[in-house]
């Protein structure tokens, strides 16, 4: 019996169950199911909003308790298992946030506002501080004001940085974020994306490496947001890694 109260096999069963629950929940509440109903049933809208709020409570509880345990545990095996729980709960939290955004944008009007590109990037990097480990992150971004759906834009940047971390080199990892000539470039050092996958990399549930955690929804949602907001996006694979390039000419606040 470990300090966490369960053995390794039990841990993996719990983790897998949590992730499957998150996926099933996402699919069940996805826009494709609810979109026709949102516009006609106010009671359903209210129920979904309340359900989203209730789901946030256990997710926040898991995160808070793992943070408390992290301060107390000293056993190496227990710490490793706790870190795996943190990764799984962070993945579930990200899934919840994506689901919340996509459902709410069908229920409520999306607000188009002015916001700072630098602040969005800083906020995103703060979220991934615990996950970056030894990855070096370089940021060369001048502040620019954008006019768009800030919540959706934030999630798009979150997904791109999350993807860059996930597919980075485990050793001498590097992420470089640059803004120049209305283009934002996010580069990650790692395996070059196979050219045959460039045509499907933005498809829902596609993952180039099936050993990685997640469900292949991140880049799909990035492309969906870009298309709706007239942001051109392209990928440049290189021997050193991969560049995601976004052109903001249509959302820059002059």
pLDDT tens per residue, range 6-59: 455 555 555 555 655 555 555 555 555 555 555 556 665 666 666 665 666 677
pLDDT tens per residue, range 46-80: 666 666 656 666 776 777 777 777 777 778 888 88
pLDDT value at position 1? 46
Q: Give dist(CA 194, CA 153) in Å, integer.
A: 27
Neighbours of 163 (CB within 10 A): 20
Cβ atoms of 248 and 182 closer than 8 Å: yes
pLDDT value at position 221? 84
For 110-253, strand residue ranges (E) read 112-116, 136-140, 145-149, 174-180, 183-189, 232-237, 241-247
Indicate if the pLDDT at residue 178 is higher than 80. yes
Indicate if the pLDDT at residue 105 is higher than 90. no
| Nearest by Cα to 236 from 198, 183, 201, 199 | 198
What is the pLDDT averaged over residues 153-166?
A: 91
Distances (CA, A) of 32 to 36, 84, 96, 123, 130: 8, 32, 17, 30, 34
Neighbours of 22 (CB within 10 A): 22
Indicate if the pLDDT at residue 186 is higher than 60. yes
Q: Give dist(CA 254, CA 251) in Å, integer.
A: 9
pLDDT tens per residue, range 192-226: 887 777 777 777 656 655 444 444 567 888 998 99
Q: 208 is written with which tokens?
A: 């180039």
> Running DSSP on this structure, what letter comes out for residue 167?
T
Domain map of the chain by residue range? 8-107, 112-247
Supply the CATH classification number for the domain 112-247: 3.30.565.10
More confident: 186 or 200:
186
Indicate if the pLDDT at residue 148 is higher than 90. yes
pLDDT value at position 199? 73
Return the H-helix or E-strand segment holding 230: none
The dihedral built from the CA positions of residue 27, 227, 190 and 161, taken in this order, carries a sign that is negative
HSE, side-chain direction, 13 A CA sphere, residue 103: 25
């Amino acid at each position: 019996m470990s300090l966490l109260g369960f053995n390794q096999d039990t841990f993996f069963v719990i983790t897998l169950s949590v992730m499957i629950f998150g996926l099933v929940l996402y699919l069940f509440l996805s826009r494709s199911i609810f979109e026709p109903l949102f516009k006609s049933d106010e009671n359903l809208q209210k129920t979904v909003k309340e359900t989203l709020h209730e789901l946030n409570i256990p997710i926040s509880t898991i995160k808070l308790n793992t943070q408390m345990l992290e301060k107390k545990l000293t056993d190496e095996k227990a710490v490793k298992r706790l870190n795996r729980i943190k990764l799984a709960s962070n993945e579930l939290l990200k899934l919840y946030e994506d689901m919340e955004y996509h459902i709410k944008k069908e229920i409520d009007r999306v607000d188009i506002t002015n916001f700072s590109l630098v602040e969005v990037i800083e906020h995103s990097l703060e979220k991934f501080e615990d996950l970056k480990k030894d990855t070096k992150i370089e940021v060369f971004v001048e502040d620019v004001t954008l006019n768009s759906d800030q919540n959706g834009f934030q999630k798009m940047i979150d997904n791109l940085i999350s993807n860059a971390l996930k597919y980075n080199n485990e050793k001498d990892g590097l992420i470089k974020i640059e803004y120049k000539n209305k283009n934002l470039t996010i580069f990650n050092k790692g395996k070059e994306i196979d050219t045959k996958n460039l045509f499907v990399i933005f498809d829902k549930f596609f993952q180039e490496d099936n050993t990685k955690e997640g469900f292949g929804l991140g880049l799909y949602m990035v492309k969906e947001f870009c298309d709706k907001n007239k942001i051109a996006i392209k990928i440049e694979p290189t021997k050193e890694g991969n560049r995601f390039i976004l052109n903001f000419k249509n959302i820059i606040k002059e």
